[in-house]
Amino acid sequence: MTRARLQDPQSAAESPGVTWMRAKLAALGIAPDGPELPDTPEPVPALEAAQRRIPYAYREAGADHPDVAAWVHMIAAAAVAPHTDSLHPHHGGGGRRVVARGPSLLLWGPTGTGKTHQAYGAIRSLTAMGCAVRWHAVKAADLYGQMRPRPGVDVEWMLRDIVRIPLLLLDDLGAAKNSEWTEELTFRLLAWRDENRLPTLVTSNLAPVRTTAMDPRQPVLRDKVGDRVLSRLSGMCTAVEFHGPDRRFAPRG
């Protein structure tokens, strides 16, 4: 039997392993020399999961407002790998980065100027950037409805769960009818998140405070939520004002 010497050149196509592989591919109906598959981007599981929860109107939303985009990058940069501190430093991180702590945003301006669009765009952007994001979105009026005491429901447990979510979108603050109870609930929610530096996106159609140029009959957020809540918002949030006409009245293609 003739043995191949190490110095005898052999092409890969002649090796038994390649021949075996070609036979297996042919049995599966796969042409080894067929055209290359298109180079398509890998799916992002977190983004796909977020898409199923985001309202249909905002599933293509993007964080293209400069201040919102800057916030997204800040939160992503602060995201950490889980259990990093307990690992040997030479062995790397413990998995995908998760949203940890960071600043919050108050997006305010007239109805239809894109505040909620930008907020959902921020959530989509964070997931697309590879951050694992546990998030919850709720309109303020719906939150108050969910928290109404009723038999068989532990509303305190529900509130604790929402308060501790890593990323919260509190939408349309100031639109619901105000009362001592709603003010206390909002204060508890925001105070805990402020003290624990959990990033929060808050949207409102109302200016935070009244200015001399405003119509004295026009309500402001302070009127709706009270001084304690407004103080918390001022301390934890960067306020971003939105301008322009109501985009919902624009003609659609």
pLDDT at 88 over 70: no
The pTM (predicted TM-score) of the whole model is 0.76
Sequence-ordered list of residues with C-beta below 8 angstroms from that of 63, at least 6 positions apart, any chain: 69, 71, 72, 118, 121, 122, 124, 125
Higher pLDDT, 47 or 109: 109
Sheet arrangement for strand 237-241: 135-139, 167-171, 200-204, 104-108, 237-241
pLDDT at site 23: 77
At 149-201, the pLDDT tens digits run: 999 889 999 999 999 999 999 999 999 999 999 999 999 999 999 999 999 99
Enumerate domains of the chain plus CATH numbers. Answer: 64-84+97-219+234-244 (3.40.50.300)
Percent of the chain with pLDDT over 90: 56
User: Three-class SS of residue 53?
Assistant: helix
54-58, 137-141, 199-203, 238-242: least confident range? 54-58
- The mean pLDDT of the chain is 83
pLDDT band at 120 (very low <50, low <70, confident <90, very high): very high
pLDDT at 239 over 90: yes
Phi-psi sector, 187: left (phi>0), alpha (psi -120 to 50), beta? alpha
pLDDT at site 82: 62
Higher pLDDT, 230 or 13: 230
